[in-house]
Structure 1
Amino acid sequence: MTEPTDIPPFVRVEELDDLRGRRLVLADVRWYLDGRSGRAAYEGGHLPGAVFVDLDAWLTGPATAEAGRNPLPAPEVFAEGMRTLGIGDDDIVVAYDDQGGVIAARLVWMLRTTGRRAAILDGGLDAYLEAHPDSLSAAEPEADSGDFSVRPWPAEVLADADELTGPAALTLDARNRDRFIGQQDPVDPRPGHVPGAVNVPCRENLDPRGRLLPAQTIRDHFDAAGVDRTTASQVISYCGSGVTACHNLLTLEHTGLGRGRLYVGGWSAYGRDETRQVETGPGRTPSPAAGEATL
């Protein structure tokens, strides 16, 4: 994996001005599990100059039972999408959504793991509007084709299903509590979680306004799940289908704990394999419940 340089995984609205002297691309990555249109939300108003990144078109490959709902796209497809949006290898991409960054995290993780500079806008759309009221734009910028190269997904940042229950793995489930315990699941047929996984809902990294909690609070949260600087390299993060699990990985990195790996298939792949054991019930749940469904 090529190391991203000089850009942390999260930046605040007030830090955007410091980046504007360089080649900065704002990326709107709104997407909704309930089927609402992210494109329609973007067209209804977005950050000035932001491009719309279609998660289904450019950040996801074809769904299969084995690969899950949102597998990684072919590197060539990802590169085509970024070029179409005017994003180049040397650009700084700051991505946002209206869900605390848990969707935008997918784009940021994909860019950073292939050596590009990218970050989540902390607090997203709401934080920007708080600082710049009535500033949303309906205009879609004209983008010149970006110089974005094709790079393979680094094997060292990915995990497969067999590793989830291995003796060396520290497997974190980023979904909300009700889905983890098997109480309900709005999108996957089999309830429960990977045996031995620890539930660390990604939205519990955030305060009620969708901003990151203080770094020490987050570190304490992960510590309760068994993650510290000595064990972070053992982390395998999963969620429903490899989108919001990226938020936990970026939060680990941002708070100085280190980097883990992503199981892209998530529960949408693991849970569909009837040969694999699953668990229901609370398991290890180091913090209180949160509210919204995750991918």
Structure 2
Amino acid sequence: MDEDVVVSAEWLAAHRDDPDVVVVDVRDNWEYDGIGHVPGAVNIPFDAFRAVDADGEGGEGMLPDPDEWRALLESRGVEPSDTLVAYDDTHGVFAARFLVTALVMGHEREGELRFLDGDYSAWTREHPVESGSVEVEESVYEVERPAETPLVDVAAVAAAVESGAVVVDTRSPEEYAEGHVPGAVNLDWRELVDEESRGLKPREAVEAVLASKGVERGEEIVLYCNTARRISHTYVVLRWLGFEDVAFFEGSMTAWEAAGRPTERN
């Protein structure tokens, strides 16, 4: 992902009919069918690509099994070279999780990943919607996970804490106060979102929020939450801004506490 990862509704309107662009709606099926969706979008609900249980210290957290991911994308007609544009109706947090999953599963080996700024509401303000399912032709999709990913495990996070890396807890202040990784700073992922537009705050405003937390370029940054959903949004934002040294603690607090690691309260 790069600075082009975040796209507007206008960009989507201009590219939606491109045969190499697949729009992915990650809302529940009843919302997709009943409320409506971006014309031509395929439905891949969040629960469809979410493992049921985190797996402790191994680093894989709640990522889906690669074979299940492959079958899921094939059933929606996704090709390895497609540009995937994901959206939800929750400020993009679930869409971001889809994109991070695709990244870890190697989609950027041939294809590209895009995040619709302002979620579904950004589209509905000025563009038509449709209801019902979209018929697609099943594809052939191979999962080839890259040799290097941003994922880190419990041991790597513990080492980052010792080395003075900027460990970022993206949960609410209340959750953070109840217990967090020692030394972590609290950056509620919603601080980067404009509640009125439902999209990201202007770039300068986002940069200012990050800087106020010590999240700056040149620092080693480690992100976590509870089960890696909320950090997906923050990860996408940081990649959009051009941050390079960003680690993704997939196991998050679930794995940290399961491993018996210490927590801090304040």
- Asked whether the 8 Å contact 1:249–1:259 carries over to 2, the reply is no
Alpha-carbon distance between aligned partners in 1 of 2:148 and 2:240, rounded to the nearest angstrom: 22
> 2:33 — aligned with what?
43
Q: Partners in 2 of 1:75 and 1:263 — Cα distance?
A: 19
Q: How many percent identity over aligned positions?
A: 28
Q: Secondary structure at the match of 1:220?
A: helix
2:241 to 255, 261, 265: 255
User: Over residues 193-221 of structure 1, what are the superposed CA-to-partner deviations in whole Å (9 max), with x where a residue is unaligned?
Assistant: 11111111111111012111111111121
The answer to whether the 8 A contact 2:54-2:254 is kept is no
Tell me how far apart the structure 1 counterparts of residues 83 and 114 of structure 2 sit (CA, whole Å).
Answer: 8
TM-score by length of 2: 0.88
Asked which structure has the greater RCO (Cα within 8 Å, sep 6+), the reply is 2
Change in CA separation of 1:180 and 1:86 when aligned onto 2, cut-off 3 Å: same
**Mapping for residues 183-262 of structure 1, pairs under 5 Å:** 192-208=179-195, 209-231=197-219, 234-262=220-248
Corresponding residue of 2:22: 25
Shift of 1:165: 3.1
Cα separation, 2, equivalents of 1:222 and 1:154: 29
* Structure 2, unpaired ranges of 5+: none
Structure 1 runs of 4+ aligned residues shifted over 4 Å read 67-70
Aligned-pair distance for 1:153? Answer: 5.5
Query: Cα distance, 1:14 vs. partner?
Result: 0.5
**TM-score after normalising by structure 1:** 0.79
Match of 2:22, as an amino acid?
A: V
Deviations 1:154-194 (A, max 9, x none): 44411111222323332111111111111xxxxxxxxx111
| Residue aligning to 2:139 | 146
Match of 1:189 in 2: none
Secondary structure class of the residue paired with 1:107:
helix
CA distance in 2, matches of 1:98, 1:69: 26
Q: How many residue pairs align between the two structures?
A: 255
Query: What's the CA shift for 1:10?
Result: 0.9
Return closer, same or farther for 1:146/1:65 CA change in 2, 3 Å cut-off: closer
Provide Cα deviations, 1:29-59, integer angstroms capped at 9, x if missing partner.
12xxxxxxx22222222221111113222x2
1:96-135 map, 5 Å: 96-113=87-104, 114=106, 115=108, 116-132=111-127, 135=128
* 1:271 matches 2:257: yes
Q: Which amino acid aligns with 1:90?
A: S
CA shift for structure 1 position 71:
1.4
Which secondary structure does the structure 1 equivalent of 2:264 belong to?
Answer: coil
Deviation per residue, 1:229-281 (Å, 9 max, x gap): 211xx2111111012211111101112233512111112222334x2111121
CA contact (8 A) 2:210 2:216 kept: yes
1:114-137 per-position Cα deviation (integer Å, ceiling 9, x unaligned): 2131111000111111122xx332
